[in-house]
Structures are given as structure tokens and as C-alpha cells.
Amino acid sequence: MLGRDVVLVDAVRSPFGRARPDGLFAHLRADDLIVAVVRDLLRRHPSLPRDALGEVAIAATTQAGDQAPTLGRTVALLSGLGSGIPGYAIDRMCAGAMTAATSTASSIAVGSIDAAIAGGVEHMGHHPLGSGIEPNPRFLTERILAPDALDMGATAENLHDTYPALTRERADAYAAASQHRYARALAEGNIRGDLVPIAAPDPERGWGVATADEPPRPGTTVAGMADLPTPFRAGGRVTAATSSPLTDGATAALLVAAERAEEWGLTPRMRLVSYAYAGVPPELMGLGPVPAATRALALAGLGIDDIGLIEINEAFAVQVLAFLDAFGLADDDPRVNPYGGAIAVGHPLAASGVRLMSQLARQFSHRPDVRYGMTTMCVGLGQGGAVVWENPHYGQERAS
């Protein structure tokens, strides 16, 4: 892709909390949550000239209440960057933060800005999935969408229907493996380095500090899933265990022109190679990563065998399995989500794209034998996004 080289200097996130009345962030505003993450990102890089930031792009799927107005500008002001730093809001549903990163990277590549902060926040406890929306009735009256295309769980069931090889047994096994991989990564110290401690209030217990993810269930077993109900369809195959939990969380990344990063003494964690977005039938939303990844690989001049690490968002286990089958990968391919995924850690919608980036960057630092990696995800209303990254540690001794 043409333009200046763009590097991801860092990507951090809040701990992820369960979206419920007693969750970690039940009594914290969404904008205060993302501001805390952005402030910590800036604190980690004191050599970055603050006035060099050309944009603050922050995504949210629900842009109302404490996730509005014009979230990027709101966050820039509340983070203390001053009135001279512009910002904007993005909505591409689950790929919001991913789009914030690729959009600002494009601006850096063409030279209009030198650096940007990109991220996302979703407080699903304050803004449940689908709250406040009013889909145009023409979607159904003109048969533009299938009746169940706006129900994400139903689209997962549709994948099971469409591809008989995507069995519940495979989905259950994949979901249990995700929990176990996350637990192992946490025990080995591969999660906490990118977490920002968040001070959060509780009306009964006062203030506390969130330092760990709340959703994971490390004791999950396939046997324990056997009798779970299928909430999206009677007699279906998708359960709570094979779905990402409803989550509150925020993420932020610092993207910089490679030449400026060197000038400012900033150490890149990844270099952007290519990216792509694609559309699929909305009722089969989970297929989105397949054409998006195919196009991103073509733009990079690479094939799937060139990709040594893949971070794919686990909205549902069946969606990941569809991706694996499309590219001829095994269900337990060690390249895929080695630190676990959203089934374990949670999926705060628009924030998740940068969570994928932070995990891939951490893996790159431990795997100098891997040159290329990918972050990819499905997106509501039938889309997918994928980004190919290069490891700056490739060919070096293992980084810290």
C-alpha cells in the first residue's frame, strides 16, 4: 500500500468488566473509562510531542449518553490534550476501533498528520446491544435483510445451519480451549502488561481499582457446556459458553509515521502492511473475516501460510470455525488466538479491534521467528475487517 510507513507504537486497554449491575464498571461513565486508558497510553510515552497528535479517533457502537458527543473530541479534551488537538467518532459496530486505527493510519500514510490516537469504548451495561436503534422498515418490507439479520446470535445459528461441518461439538471444544489459552497466558504474564488499572466507584463499597479482567471462566469444560440452553433458538447450537459475554471496556492505540517514531525515540511494536474491509450477507455476518482477510492478504502480496500469528475476534465460536475452514486451518492451529480470545476475555463491541492489536503486538515481542501477523473480525450488518502487520522484532533475539 502506498504512502509513508505507519507503525503501532503501543496499544493498551482497560480490564474488561461484565456488563451487569454489579460489574467492574457499573458505576463508571464510559467516557471516563476511555479517558483513563488514553491518559495511561500517553504516560507510557513521554517523548511523544503532544502537539504532534493530528487526530484522536474513538469508536462506539452506541453514540449516546456517556458515549457522546463526538467521542474523539470529547476524549481529547478530557484527557488534557488541549483545545488544539482535533478528534472524531467512528461507528463500524464491532470493528469501530479497528476502523479508527486504519483510518488514522491512512491519514498518517498520506502525510496529512504524523501521529494519532485510535481506540474504542463500549459500556454495554449502560448501552445494551441494540438499545436506541430504529432500523428502517424498508429493510424487511423490501427484503433487503433477512428477518433475523439484526440478531447477532441468530446469525451465528445460521452459520451452523449453512455449513453442517460447523457442529456444536466443535464449537464447544473451541470455546473451552479459548478459556484455557487465556488462563495460561495470564499465568505466564502475557496479559497484564497491556492493562491499564482503572479507578471505579461503587455506591456501597466506595472506590476500588480494577486490575484484572472479570469475564474469564478458567474452569470451563466441554462436559459442563453440554446442558446449557440455546437462547437464540430452541434446539439450537449456540450457547452462552460459545458466545462472547456482554462486556464493558475501552482500548487505545498510538499510531505514528515510522520516520517520526525514530525521530521521537519511540519503539514500534508493529508495522502496518495492509488492511481491508468486506461485505457479506448480513444473515451470515460471521463470514465477514474471510473476504476481508483474503483482500488484505492480496494487497500485501501474501498468502495465509505467510501469516505466523492470527488474532481473530471470537464473537461466537462458530464464526471462528468458519474462518478456519475457509482457509484450511485446524481448529487447534497454534497460530490462532494463542492467548485466548473474546469468548474468555469479553467483547466490548467497538473497543475489541485494538484489543486484538495489543495481543498480537505482545506475541510479536515473544516470537521473533514470526514476520507477519493478522488481526481480523466479523462486523454486524454483514461486514468483516482484517489488518496485516509486520513484526519489527523479526530475525532478532527474543524481545522483552
Q: Name the H helices within the chain.
A: 30-43, 71-78, 96-109, 138-141, 152-162, 168-187, 222-225, 258-263, 289-300, 317-326, 342-345, 352-366
**Hey, how many other C-beta atoms are within 10 angstroms of the C-beta on 369?**
12
The span from the CA of 171 to the CA of 166, in Å, is 7
Report the first-to-last Cα separation within the chain, whole angstroms. Answer: 30
Amino acid found at 355: R
* Nearest C-alpha neighbor of 388 from the set 4, 8, 3: 8
Give me the catalytic one of 126, 127, 347, 393. Answer: 347
Beta-strand (E) ranges in 190-321? 198-202, 206-210, 247-257, 270-279, 307-312
46-79 burial, b at 16+ Cβ within 10 Å, e below that, comes to eebeeebbbbbbbbbbbbeebbeeebbbbbbbeb
- Reading the block at residue 330, the C-alpha cell is 485446524
Q: What contacts 206, CB < 8 A, 6 or more positions away? A: none
Please state whether beta strands 53-59 and 87-90 pair in parallel, antiparallel, or not at all (unpaired): parallel
* Nearest C-alpha neighbor of 345 from the set 228, 200, 188, 185: 185
What's the longest Cα–Cα distance across the chain? 60
* Backbone phi and psi for residue 23, each to the nearest 5 degrees, phi listed first: -75, 170
* Nearest C-alpha neighbor of 66 from the set 43, 34, 102: 34
Active site residue 378: yes
- Where does residue 20 rank: exposed (0-12), middle (13-18), buried (19+ CB within 10 A)? middle
Give me the catalytic one of 45, 127, 378, 393. Answer: 378
Residue showing cell 466507584: 201
* Nearest C-alpha neighbor of 116 from the set 320, 217, 254, 316: 254
Give me the catalytic one of 94, 123, 126, 127. Answer: 94
CA dihedral 348, 240, 327, 380 (to 10 degrees): -50
Cite the active site residues.
Answer: 94, 347, 378
